[in-house]
Amino acid sequence: MRRIGLFAILILGGVWGCGEKPDELGPYVHKLSGLQHYYDTLVQYEKYLRTEGMTQQANDVAEVLKAFRRDVEALGAPHDTRILALHNEMIRAFGEAQRKLVEPDFPTFVPNAQKSVRIVLEEMQTVTRQFQRLWERAGKTEEFPLKFLPPEADKGQAAQ
């Protein structure tokens, strides 16, 4: 009887002890915020691709997208299903953007590169808003670290 009672206590203790999940949101978002330089580079490339004579500045857009994707994948697949869904959404956006790219000497390089950059920038903005909602729901008191949002100057133009 004692063994059965002890066994039951151990089982119940194990079940109760597993009830709290570790925080994956905070560490994942902080690691993702470390990739801000890629986003800033793509914002700059978007400007280059819209400006006649400056398009040569964005010739390495394929390498930047590849490095950005590699570093997002290196963050690892989280166990939390909501974070994992956003992680996978980013990876799919990078795949779509990379499929649209052509070599810089092709006549369609500029429009294809513009589409590719836009896909990634819009996805990162969408994901940022979703992570911010998760951050608020989790009741985190520290400042939200992600800044993958449209530049302030573009926001003012969009409102007009």
Indicate whether 70 belongs to any domain. yes
Indicate whether 15 belongs to any domain. no
Nearest-angstrom CA–CA distance, 70 and 67: 5
Indicate whether 117 belongs to any domain. yes
Q: What pLDDT shows up at residue 105?
A: 87
Print the domain residue range for 99: 24-159
Indicate whether 76 belongs to any domain. yes
Nearest-angstrom CA–CA distance, 31 and 71: 10
Indicate whether 1 belongs to any domain. no
Indicate whether 17 belongs to any domain. no
Q: Would the pLDDT of 153 be above 50? A: no
Q: What pLDDT shows up at residue 129?
A: 96
Per-residue pLDDT tens over the stretch 80-136:
999 999 999 999 999 999 999 998 889 999 999 999 999 999 999 999 999 999 999
3-state secondary structure the chain: CHHHHHHHHHHHHHHHHCCCCCCCHHHHHHHHHCCHHHHHHHHHHHHHHHCCCCHHHHCCHHHHHHHHHHHHHHCCCCCCHHHHHHHHHHHHHHHHHHHHCCCCCCCCHHHHHHHHHHHHHHHHHHHHHHHHHHHHHCCCCCCCCCCCCCCHHHHHHHHC
Indicate whether 68 belongs to any domain. yes
Per-residue pLDDT tens over the stretch 16-67:
555 567 789 999 999 999 999 999 999 999 999 999 989 899 899 999 999 9
pTM for the full predicted model:
0.80
Domain count for the chain, please give it.
Answer: 1
Indicate whether 89 belongs to any domain. yes
Token pair of 107, please? 């006549």
